[in-house]
Structure 1
């Protein structure tokens, strides 16, 4: 992000704060008025505000009163009063933007303001948290304010059944995780009865830790999958083959983009092993897919970083929290490839039934807003992809945290020794220390060094969300030393124990620069909340994972100039400046990856919406006949266009094929021979009687409930099958996108063209399959035509 752009956004943010201060003055002026009202009178104000909206007032018109009302309700229920800066944060959210607020500034209380305002519309507000523990906590705490004001508040949890979820979504405000809201959206488009749906649309969303959800998790699509019965033996074979591959010989590895590519030598080895002449031909797509997944498992995914092996099973690790993700599997055979790599029993591969990216799910909301302590570094991405402005909210009290400059060592061993010495020295003074790591493996390594230095400490590995929150909350107590993955316990305040402020407050040590500056900001922000004293420092090394992702040649050049002291501490050239450059480069590569994904997914998203639109019409419409008639006219014309093309003469047309194809979807009273050699207009005249008879039968579908139900069931089932098959084709197409840049052609344009063609063909096949089935459940159309005559 350029300095000019940063300065422009900073100035824009300050101007917005000035404007919002005027609204805060209006809210403050109403405080005494609302203080004098009884509880019942406050509740009546909620009804009055709803009425105002219905009578044409805008949200901006009623906002000061809504915020003043919530502030008074908060004082009476949870004994907390919104500070002016919290009101500003709420105003930013109410305008559909992002409030950047420092850790400990009360983001949870801030969300109570716009969620109440949005809820007055009656369309449902979704408040998104990063985990279910926080969703329960906020539902219980902030829910008191809204229930007091007469609103209904719901909680959406993964273990809930359909009826419980439906009730949660019917509430004015519903709490839950982004994943659960997204999965419910997908499940709603897999049901067979309208009554099985749980959501009522995407109107308003407020995201806590918005950068974590919309950026860090943006490359991980939400997928609902079933077993496929794919070849387990082929996974074992391809895994064994790629184990012998070497970087720079058979493969090229690009760690920043997490991609592995075969070299010419690698391609030759595979083609020779399997006896194929062209690995990239359509005949060998399945083999190519298995090879790709085995390469990814072998050279990109790391044990004890991306996953752990526990009791003979692969358990995935959340890269941002370090927590094991129970029950989660990688899709498209990647999970099975890891099982083969580790020599475990290989389970059946999953086939995608429904999928949506986090980006495209949240872009469906009419108003999207959120809060975080670290949005500024990503403000361009927020604007480019989500059209969200970032406004930096002033702190309630001046910041007193001291951020010390990084210490950069040559080796991991030197780094860990320095951290152990630093922790021992600081903890002996009674100051608490929180150490942030980037993986479970790193946490365990550091723990071993601290044990050797005889430093008592708490290790937060593989804890539940609730345990994490409790242990993180205790990290500010006198003499406490806590090792945690950077994002563990995010959303939980660390309160200082008695006397700790006088000692200098909590000290944060970062053991590795993260791929994103935002995560480093979040870690530093754990200290110095609400004007408390505190400090932070990163102690890192040149052997950290971050540098493995950097350009080898650039790194080599810098290392040749590098000088260090006798402890291994790098002195020159400026190591901090170099680490900033490395981090920025990798962050830009990840941004490019998200843009790449979005370019591909945007086209698929349009197709998804089209399919879900057809599905909703089939599901919700009481007049199924009109939909079937429209689809039949389409498939009939498509068949004529395909087999009676205008660029050929009637003698060249394949009339036997035309007859066979038409007869498979509706009864014909003529024979194939009578169609031969005729003009298209003559053929259509000959078929008109049979077509009209069939259309008459379709028009009567709604009159027989049993037939209508069967027709609807056929339609939904066949559409779902067609969509699932199409998703599989799209996965293969996306997988090979890097190979599709032929000559000067744009690979995205090629993807768009091929995916569109595949989509249109899928719809044709669906319509044909549908009428091939439906003709057998319709009333006797010939008899009906006779009656009508």
Structure 2
């Protein structure tokens, strides 16, 4: 199709802006969409879309995930595809991003293109008001982070007046950083919570009890680092502090749970690795991106336990009113496509969970980046010494260096080590993420040394010679950007994203990873594969094929474990999602029709007739029925959460946990609809109803405040998650 697109170029250039917009309104085939899109970009951005960008747009229009290398112009590709989807009748289009910054940036950046194409564009961020959200979603194209879109959907599912909704139909979404959102975040639940009467937080009391406990004396941490248990000595110590109570007695179950959660917070979660403390609050760190995970919190009292550990007051947890996973939310769109630089490695998962195929788009300019073999050291200390020396050596030549670390703590320790070696550097981590754009813009400058967590891995563009590229030739002659990874991540895709910061659009560049046999990835997933006496040099540098294989194997095992957890978690989520969809259909009927009033006229004939006003019966019936439906759904979710946490115990009796979960979940849901009707009828019969009737009169009080958050993966997991993880490890090891 590309020759046909090129053939339209000269004719489209002859049109004035109004004529181009008119032509854009008639395009509905790939060739015309791409030709008009290219011309609009040339005028609006002074950028002529590359052929490969048009191929990427066609891949998105055909419902695929386009794998496009860093610096290939995915933002413009998405804009042309969004225009095409609208013209082909698939609108409105939501472009789902990984954060608010990118949503706003990309919408404003592409606005001139959309204007020439005759389309309206808006964006939503966490700060947007309901009116601003409604206006943004009324555009042809809306840029929004996946979490904000999901939260808006949840809030819309609880409105009692249809005019209060902010979203329109979920027609088409283009997912930016598709592997991150569709795979890494797929099982993250988005939660809408409501205010409930507060009571003393038992975890804060338990925190004081576990502070004096010592590892290997009072408690023991499992080999996988994901669970911890009190020893007999530790249990006795706690029980004596509580006036010799029996913690394992049934009546002390809540206290035992609080002690265990407090112990997990102290023993397994580490400040500046799993979370940071900023502005008097605990903020979780997304391990895949190294950024603060906005509005994310741990489940099951663990958030409160970490807050207690850090001497902070507990934030409200509230009652869950509704919840949906990222995967289930995205599954609501009729048309789905996406783009990322790293899709092939998760191609089988995209196919399994979303029925998506990957289209690999060639680069506009061949990549000439040199990817060196890993440098492996026997100990972490030797690795760090070699890493600092390598950075110092490159810095002496003036070559810009970008170092990717695995967590905040490591980034700060490395920066201190570099300073001691006489190398000044800029640190980018979750603590100063607001300065990200400015820091990254200059990371390619002559003499620059930037130490970053995985934040620098996605959605950022590092130009050689700095943001204005004044020193481009000088830096290019030195070999371009030098990207160094301080260790291998659990996911090869995260490593590949870091590599991809160098070598954009044919620029020179180099990448290398420093690894030690003491790194957590190796210790956790492949200790048995490390030879007793690997071949190494005097400085600790290991050169042994068996060790190289062990590190590759450790990454494959880690990826396999995550895939198996995703698969099994989704199996449990499927039944809840099917129930939520069935409930949503019922709720929509109650909200938009008089079905509740009809039921009351049938079941409460005498009282309904006494009111002599059908519209009043409809209004009151709708309000009462919606209240009880939402109330019962919240109770149902709480019940399923308890079942989900306890179902692993049934596995000990050789029962299938999933079957047992379904055995509890399905009948409970089947009872829901009759209960809604029963409670609606009872409330109607008991209420004093007149023209001024309001729900509060019948004590149908909804939460006075609601808030949204994402449930962070429980780092130590429930017993069920640990069982799943063990299964995943066995499967991955056998591959």
User: What TM-score results when the alignment is normalised by the length of structure 1?
Assistant: 0.80
The 2-side partners of 1:584 and 1:269 are apart by 42
Q: Which moved more, 1:171-180 or 1:136-145?
A: 136-145
Offset, 1:247? 6.8
Aligned pairs for 1:329-344 (under 5 A) are 329-344=297-312
Residue aligning to 1:753: 663
Deviations 1:193-231 (A, max 9, x none): 111100112110111111111122223211122354354
Residue aligning to 1:589: 561
Residue aligning to 2:49: 82
Residue aligning to 2:704: none
- The answer to whether 1:604 aligns with 2:572 is no
Aligned pairs for 1:204-603 (under 5 A) are 204-228=172-196, 229-237=198-206, 240-241=209-210, 244=213, 253=222, 255=224, 258=226, 274-275=245-246, 286=254, 289-290=257-258, 293-310=261-278, 312-325=280-293, 328-462=296-430, 467-488=435-456, 490-497=458-465, 498=471, 499-550=474-525, 555-556=527-528, 558=530, 560-603=532-575
The 1-side partners of 2:228 and 2:666 are apart by 28
- Evaluate the alpha carbon distance shift between residue 446 and residue 112 of structure 1 in structure 2; reply closer, same or farther with a 3 A threshold: same
Match of 1:43 among 15, 21, 36: 21
- Look up the SS of the partner of 2:329 in the other structure: helix
Contact 2:55–2:361 (CA<8 Å) still a contact in 1? yes
- Evaluate the alpha carbon distance shift between residue 319 and residue 96 of structure 1 in structure 2; reply closer, same or farther with a 3 A threshold: same
| Aligned positions, number | 678
The 1-side partners of 2:402 and 2:138 are apart by 42
Unmatched tracts of structure 2, length 5 or more: 466-470, 691-735
Match of 1:63 among 18, 26, 30: 30
Offset, 1:292? 5.3
Offset, 1:344? 3.6
The 1-side partners of 2:255 and 2:497 are apart by 43
The 1-side partners of 2:68 and 2:190 are apart by 28
- The answer to whether 1:728 aligns with 2:638 is yes
Offset, 1:561? 3.7
Aligned pairs for 1:681-760 (under 5 A) are 694-695=604-605, 697=607, 703-760=613-670
The 2-side partners of 1:443 and 1:381 are apart by 32
Match of 1:152 among 104, 115, 120: 120
The 1-side partners of 2:575 and 2:132 are apart by 34
Aligned pairs for 1:91-240 (under 5 A) are 91-120=58-87, 121=89, 123-228=91-196, 229-237=198-206, 240=209
Q: Tell me the C-alpha RMSD between the 2 structures.
A: 2.9
The 1-side partners of 2:110 and 2:610 are apart by 54
Offset, 1:568? 1.8
Contact 1:407–1:539 (CA<8 Å) still a contact in 2? yes
Offset, 1:718? 2.1
Deviations 1:234-255 (A, max 9, x none): 5532773597485799666364
Offset, 1:336? 0.6
The 2-side partners of 1:500 and 1:347 are apart by 49
Offset, 1:262? 7.9
The 2-side partners of 1:278 and 1:203 are apart by 53
The 1-side partners of 2:207 and 2:651 are apart by 26
The 2-side partners of 1:624 and 1:701 are apart by 15
- Evaluate the alpha carbon distance shift between residue 623 and residue 504 of structure 1 in structure 2; reply closer, same or farther with a 3 A threshold: same
Residue aligning to 1:626: 598
- Evaluate the alpha carbon distance shift between residue 277 and residue 233 of structure 1 in structure 2; reply closer, same or farther with a 3 A threshold: closer
Unmatched tracts of structure 1, length 5 or more: 1-22, 50-58, 630-691, 781-789
Aligned pairs for 1:640-679 (under 5 A) are none
The 2-side partners of 1:111 and 1:369 are apart by 10
Offset, 1:348? 4.2
- Look up the SS of the partner of 2:276 in the other structure: strand
Q: Which moved more, 1:489-498 or 1:435-444?
A: 489-498
The 2-side partners of 1:503 and 1:369 are apart by 39
Offset, 1:760? 2.9
Offset, 1:548? 4.4
Deviations 1:341-399 (A, max 9, x none): 33443344433222111111111111111111111111111110011111211111111
User: What TM-score results when the alignment is normalised by the length of structure 2?
Assistant: 0.86
The 2-side partners of 1:330 and 1:197 are apart by 29
Tell which structure's C-alpha radius of gyration is larger.
1
- Evaluate the alpha carbon distance shift between residue 727 and residue 264 of structure 1 in structure 2; reply closer, same or farther with a 3 A threshold: farther
The 1-side partners of 2:569 and 2:202 are apart by 31
Contact 1:42–1:69 (CA<8 Å) still a contact in 2? yes
Offset, 1:713? 2.2
